[in-house]
Amino acid sequence: MSGYPISLSALSVSAGKSLPHGLTELRGTSFTDGTSSPASGTIRFLDFLNKTIVGNTPTVVPAHLRASSPIDNDQLGSSISISGNYAIAGAQFADPGGRSSAGAAYIFERTTASWVQRAVLIPSDSTASDYFGKSVSISGDYAIVGADGSDPDSKSRAGAAYIFVRSGTTWSQQAKLVASDKAANDYFGGSVSISGIYAIIGATGKDPNGQSSAGAAYTFKRSGSSWSQESKLTASDFAYADSFGSGVSISGDYIIIGAYREDPSGVSNAGSAYIFVRYGSSWYQQAKLVAGDKAASDQFGRNVSISGDFAIVGAGFADPNGVSNAGAAYIFKRSGSSWSQEAKLTASDKAASDIFGGSVSISSTGYAIIGASGQDPNGQSSAGAAYIFVRSGSSWSQQVKLISPNISAGGQFGRSVSIDGDRVVASAPREYVNSIRGGAGHVFKRDATNGNWSNLTG
């Protein structure tokens, strides 16, 4: 991995020392282990990894999210979310207590020097094949984790979701959420999102009015320490096998819900997404979103995100410029009660089977991150990548392509992504950690001065 940018702000100095003014001044830097950075040529991030500069105090620490005891094929990072100084990563194939694929989720906290594992979340009724950690979301002191393989009241794969709350450094289960009309194979919990006192949970296998797998989503509201179901949402035009609820996201009074197998205008599996708005204690459908250039099997709506007046919808199997499954993502903007497509985003180096748009996240500040877990950076098959786009006026442009600092073939970096303020996190659930595929997440921070993104804690 050459030419990777480093953050000068991550190199603090002791009294009487000065910070280098530019990258060229980092050439020939002496480290306490007796080595030094290259005297000429490219300055790389790896040249400074775990090094301490002579006369300086700290070590340059990459911002990784890894289990303190990684286990092969747990797939930590199968889902990921960030909020402030905390991040959560699901590991749906973990086997806590020997319960195969019961699943787990990990909470990490950002400290001055690094991201530290604070808790391993396991539900109180953990059971084999629950796939707890299939989906995760965090907001402030609250986290929600989906377990779409759970069997509440012996209803096979009806699904469940769990709320956890932080007190000091301790995270504890506050509630188990299930649908009021739960039924076998609903897969409730396959997607989750939380914001303030509200949570939304997708159930793609739900059969509203007997329409098999048309799908549904459920909102829950917190009052004190109790959570109760507020509403059940379905698309106004629900139909057989739409998979409504495949992706969900909530921001204030707005919700977006994907239906990646919907057939808009008869275009098979082109997909769609729906916006709901809250009035009082009720939620109403405000808009149906479809891609301006929809095509069969795009799977638009498999992943969605909303923040403020902006929404983003992934279409990981779109074929931009005829490039099969290269993928795309679409930005929509609200004006009053209307939503319109503002941009179609594709990678500058798109290639077949990249699945760009397989994961998406957007911030109201005008930044979006899009995962492409099938991308082959540096010739590493499916090592994956993530792309950050920035808005200027009403235009969106690619700002940077991110790859894992621990790049490995099959790592699937970008499988899940999340943005909060000046930080983004991208997961690599099949990445090697200590010679096993334990999975990881990587946090990148935007420098407020120059706009560059770096994978250094700070």
What total of structural domains would you count in the chain?
A: 2
Which pLDDT score is estimated for 396? 98
Burial classification of residue 167, based on how many CB atoms lie within 10 Å of its CB (0-12 exposed, 13-18 middle, 19 or more buried): exposed
One domain, residues 323 and 369: yes
The residue from 21, 38, 60 where one domain ends is 60
The set of long-range contacts for 343-348, using a CB threshold of 8 Å and a minimum separation of 24, is 343/395, 343/396, 344/291, 344/292, 344/293, 344/320, 345/370, 345/387, 345/389, 345/396, 345/398, 346/320, 346/321, 347/372, 347/375, 347/385, 347/387, 347/398, 347/401, 348/398, 348/401
One domain, residues 38 and 80: no
Which pLDDT score is estimated for 4? 35
One domain, residues 297 and 150: yes
One domain, residues 50 and 103: no
Blockwise average pLDDT, block size 10, the chain, 458 residues: 35 33 52 68 63 49 89 96 98 97 98 92 98 98 98 98 97 98 98 98 98 98 98 98 98 98 98 97 97 98 98 98 98 98 98 98 98 96 98 96 94 98 97 93 93 84
One domain, residues 212 and 268: yes
Model-level pTM? 0.88
The residue from 37, 60, 83 where one domain ends is 60
Domain of residue 25: give its range: 1-60
Cα–Cα distance measured from residue 427 to residue 411, given in angstroms and rounded to the nearest whole number: 9
One domain, residues 34 and 126: no
The CATH number of the domain holding residue 78 is: 2.130.10.130
**How distant, in Å, are the alpha carbons of 58, 59, 94, 161, 203 from that of 55?**
10, 12, 44, 50, 57
One domain, residues 230 and 265: yes
Amino acid (1-letter code) at residue 307: S
One domain, residues 102 and 171: yes
One domain, residues 46 and 149: no
One domain, residues 49 and 119: no
Which pLDDT score is estimated for 113? 76
One domain, residues 48 and 71: no
Which pLDDT score is estimated for 40? 61
Q: Three-state DSSP class for 322?
A: helix
One domain, residues 54 and 69: no
The residue from 35, 60, 85 where one domain ends is 60
Which pLDDT score is estimated for 258? 98
